[in-house]
Structure 1
Amino acid sequence: MNPKTFGRNAIRVVAAAAVLGLSVSVGAGTAFGDKTPAANSSALPANDTPHPEKTTEAKPNTPCASSQPAGDVATVPTPQRVLGLEKAWQFSTGAGQTVAVIDTGVARNPRLANLAPGGDYVSTGDGTQDCDGHGTAVAGLIAASRVDGQGFAGVAPGAKIIGIRQTSNYFEVKGTGTDEQKIADNSVGNLNTLASAIRHAADLGATVINISEIFCSNSVPPDSNIGAAVQYAAVQKDVVVVVAAGNNDACKSVNPVLDPTDPTGDQWSRIIQYVSPARWDKYVLSVGSIDPATGSASKFTVPGPWVGVAAPGQDITSLDLNYAANSKYITTGLTHQGKMGSIEGTSFSSPYVAGLAALVRAKFPRLSAAEVIKRIEATAHAPAGGWDPYVGYGAIDPVAALTADVPTQLPPKQPFAAQSWRMPVPQPPKAPDNTARNVALIGTAVIAVLLILGYLASFPIRRRLGMHD
């Protein structure tokens, strides 16, 4: 599988919804009418000790990512401020919850004191090595601790993180060399290792799993093992599985937007770009990206009938994988192969929701995974149609998710049906009430007549009195 770079393009290196070795476009046909299939439990991988499928090695002459330290560390980042996390922490900090981050690994950092190794499917580490910086940034958004004098913190600073390295852009199968076909065939991180990582995370006791990786295909992908793994995690292990919706730099074809002539039509019949694991809608919560400054869907977010909610995916600040050289511990960008890029993408929308899931699970420990997802969706700020394929049920609201009453049922993932009604026929206006005017006119006329009569009557009197003009 062809490895992809982070981000929306080669410059935006850390927006790795591109999946770092998982995102490819295969097939040429368009499939219609295919909805999320029932998971095939026989495709569930065994829970073996994490290991690469083949012997791997670091790519030659490819140093690990470097970071761009944040400037004003005292300022609360815009996404964090928009989400109102300070208020949400009055109700929950995620204490007692464990979030597995299946990504490029999670580097140890003083602000991830509760980081535990979860295994390595890329090399011989334990999951707490991160050459790419992506997994560390994701974990920071979920659970970075609060520090006096610094505005940035994770959504659930009381939660524990399990780091699982499942993919990387800095490793390759040993002996690949420079042959392009071998590079395509021997990328580290694929659907098999992703399925194994999901199963392993669930068996390690994670209560929430974050997957900021995608696989794109123009036909139904060969991901029955992913379906089996997310079903196992969500149903058998009661884990909230949160996944990125994908970026359009990785998913080259974009699913059509709503048809204005048929807004409530079957969205699944219009799919031209399948995204996995997002398409396993029965078992995962798929997250699109919004611009925190405007609340509108980000230009790069991939729409689909599986999108559940949205969260900020732009203007991101998170933990720095190179904290030893940066006492501030936080970053706003990474340099990948000499190109500096900002941190943005649905990869970073997903951890905001994973952190919120940890907050909700800590506040409502009796809720099942499915009920946690429903609460997050029900309390989101809905778009005008109630749901749309870019932002799902809308932008998350942590405070509402922790405090509001939610309905027993959510409407289906489609916009509200168009409604029409007959406008009432206007009633003819009432005749004007001219009583006051008439009284005034009549009174005036009477007075005038009396004055005239009085004047005329004065002539005889004046003659008798000998008065002359």
Structure 2
Amino acid sequence: MGSKGFHTTAAALTLALSVSFGAGPAAADHPPPIDAGLLPPGGPATPPTETEHPANSPCFSTQAGGDGPTIPPTQRTLELPDAWQFARGAGQLVAVIDTGVSPHPRLPGLIPGGDYVAAGGDGIEDCDAHGTIVAGLIGAAQLPGQGFAGVAPEARIMTIRQTSALYQTKGAGKEKGPDDMPDGYGKISALASAVRRAADAGARVINISLVACPTSEPTSAEMGALGAAVQYAALDKDAVIVAAAGNTDTCKASNPGLDPLHPTDDPWDHVNSYVVPAWWDAYVLSVGSVDAFGQPSKFSVPGPWVGVAAPGENIISLDPRNTGLTTAKVTNQGQVTPYSGTSFAAPQVSGVAALVRSRFPDLSAAEVIQRIEATAHAPGEGWNPYIGYGTVDPVAALSDQVPRQLPPKLPAGAREQQLPLPKPAPAPDNTARDVALIGTGIVALLLVLGFLASFPLRRRFGVHDTAA
């Protein structure tokens, strides 16, 4: 991988696998044509180089929690019980290319897909407490009395481990102190092979909650292989590829949002940091994160490739360390870190893709993506670089009619519209008031007249002559 790095995209979980990509502004442009000749083989699923897991870096612990009948707040807005009336993901294989997925009773039929981190592994070790959370959000089975379940609870999960913060290239620890963290491990060439491996295995949806963030156009041979792999998976194998949009803690040179002085500028003209594989937006559905109020998460990286958004803060999912649920990871230094990031927004959209593929099996991968984007809760501009076409809506994605073509990923320009002037209000009808006032005046007058007329009578009959 040379000097390139690769990261998971949880807001507080950084899997730095090497040094950064460099510096300097990017000469932004749309992705060039992909060279299909760079397509890598899908196997064997082994690390590109020898690796080691230092003894002073045990697997991360977790904080248990979230069990019980209450639906997690992040899932309430998705209205999953209503969506499950249409489909539950039956018959769909979803590949999770991540840090591995630990076996869990709520992931029945978990398929080991290979390991590009540890030689001889099969992808069912999750030292980083990341891939299992991702898999649970996609396909955790329902249990009586439990509010949490995966978006597509009847989908099957295939796990392919491609990265880990707790591994490193063999021998890298020779110059490290006993308290130093490993370098992390994860090669872009391995990601390209993992994408092809998942597609060849028949995955109908591929979730990639990992990003690399170069600050110049990704044109290396390894990046070319990754581009060829996503094109192959999407076109040749008809797989829906869902990828995280990236976080500002890993993509240090974040892209700007909308310029209020030039709101209709092409966002491709203002890219400071590329995010791959999201960059290849012709083949990848990129997902940003929103908070509990539907606002873009502060850590979510904007970009011209963002397609939709989903809840990505304070996530609850399957615990890789036990048979229950978890609300946070505990680092080896004792730091408790809630699960937040575009890493955890993406799998919820992968779950929706599995639902759509289950309900509409004849739709192509591109048509599934279009349906998800067209039925999202759109922002006022129609599209913006933070949440794309809007927050995903599973019920609408499974039930609404969609247009044949979406507008391009550009904010809609301001429109001038002459509103009709309101008609003059009709003159008020004061008849009832006038009648009441006149009647009251007459009654009052009669009372006064009657009172005055009583004076002579009282004087005549009320005074007596007292003379002898």
TM-score by length of 2: 0.85
SS of 1:400's partner is helix
**Alpha-carbon distance, 1:72 to partner:** 4.7
Question: What pairs with 1:211-360 in structure 2 (closer than 5 Å)?
Answer: 211-221=208-218, 222=220, 223-291=223-291, 293-323=292-322, 327=323, 329-338=324-333, 339-360=335-356
Alignment-mate amino acid for residue 150 of structure 1: Q
1:380 aligns with 2:386: no
Structure 1 residues 72-97: Cα deviation after superposition (integer angstroms, max 9, x where no partner): 52211111111000111111010000
With over 3 angstroms needed to count, the CA separation of the structure-2 counterparts of 1:406 and 1:305, relative to structure 1, is same
2:152 to 151, 156, 168: 156
The alpha-carbon distance between structure 1 residues 273 and 230, as it changes in their structure 2 partners (threshold 3 A), is: same
Instruction: String of CA shifts for 1:327-347, please: whole Å, max 9, x gaps.
Output: 5x1100111222210001000
Cα distance in 1 for residues equivalent to 2:238 and 2:90 = 18
Residue 42 (structure 1) aligned to one of 37, 41, 56: 37
Higher mean alpha-carbon deviation, 276-285 vs 37-46, is at 37-46
Q: Structure 1 CA distance, aligned partners of 2:181 and 2:412?
A: 44
What are the superposed Cα offsets for residues 271-313 of structure 1, whole Å, 9 maximum, x if unpaired? 011000011100000000001x201000100000000000000
**Within 2, Cα distance between the matches of 1:430 and 1:362?**
56
Equivalent pair of 2:5/2:20 in contact (CA under 8 Å): no
**Cα distance change of structure 1 residues 368 and 24 upon mapping to structure 2, 3 Å threshold:** farther
**Partner Cα distance (2:278, 2:100) in 1:** 21
Shift of 1:7: 3.6
Structure 1 residues not aligned, in runs of 5+: 441-469
Read off the aligned partner of 1:105 and give its amino acid letter.
G
Residues 402, 6 of structure 1: alpha-carbon distance in 2 compared, 3 angstrom cutoff = closer
Cα deviation for residue 27 of structure 1 reads 2.7
Aligned mates of 1:176, 1:355 — CA distance in 2: 38
Q: Is the 8 A contact 2:96 2:131 kept in 1?
A: yes
Q: 1:206 aligns with which of 198, 203, 206?
A: 203
State yes or no: 1:114 paired with 2:113. no
Aligned length: 424
CA distance in 1, matches of 2:304, 2:123: 33
Structure-1 residue corresponding to 2:97: 102
The CA distance in 2 between the partners of 1:162 and 1:198, in whole Å, is 12
Which runs of no fewer than 5 residues in structure 2 stay unpaired?
436-468
- Secondary structure at the counterpart of residue 177 of structure 1: helix
| TM-superposed deviation, 1:63 | 1.1
SS in 2 for 1:29: coil
Q: Deviations over 1:6-61 (max 9, x none)?
A: 743xxx34xxxx4x245864232322341122211111111221000111111231
SS at match of 1:399: helix
Distance 1:285 1:4 in 2: 18
Q: Secondary structure at the match of 1:50?
A: coil
Q: CA RMSD in A?
A: 2.7
Q: In 2, Cα distance between the equivalents of 1:4 and 1:411?
A: 31
**Match in the other structure for 1:171:** 167
Contact 2:66/2:325 (<8 A) preserved: no
Contact 1:264–1:416 (CA under 8 A) maintained in structure 2: yes
SS of alignment partner, residue 42 of structure 2: coil
> What residue number does 1:195 align with?
192
Q: Distance in 2 between matches of 1:57 and 1:243?
A: 28
Aligned counterparts of 1:239 and 1:274: Cα–Cα separation in 2: 23
Q: Aligned pair 1:68/2:63, yes or no?
A: yes
Task: Give me the whole-angstrom Cα distance separating, in 1, the residues matched to 2:130 and 2:53.
Answer: 17
2:307 partner amino acid: G
Are 1:371 and 2:367 counterparts? Answer: yes
Change over 3 Å in CA distance of 1:353–1:23 after alignment to 2: farther
Residue 43 and residue 423 in structure 1: after superposition, are their counterparts in 2 closer, same or farther (change >3 A)?
same
Counterpart code for 1:389? P
Q: CA deviation at 1:225?
A: 1.2
* Cα gap change, 1:151 to 1:43, in 2 (>3 Å): same
**Amino acid paired to 1:316:** I
Question: Can you list the C-alpha shifts for 1:168-218, whole angstroms capped at 9, x where unaligned?
Answer: 1111111111547xx999742121111110011101110000000000111
Q: Within 2, Cα distance between the matches of 1:321 and 1:58?
A: 18
Describe the shift of the 1:391–1:178 C-alpha distance in structure 2 as closer, same or farther (beyond 3 A): farther
CA contact (8 A) 2:140 2:152 kept: yes
The aligned amino acid for 1:375 is R
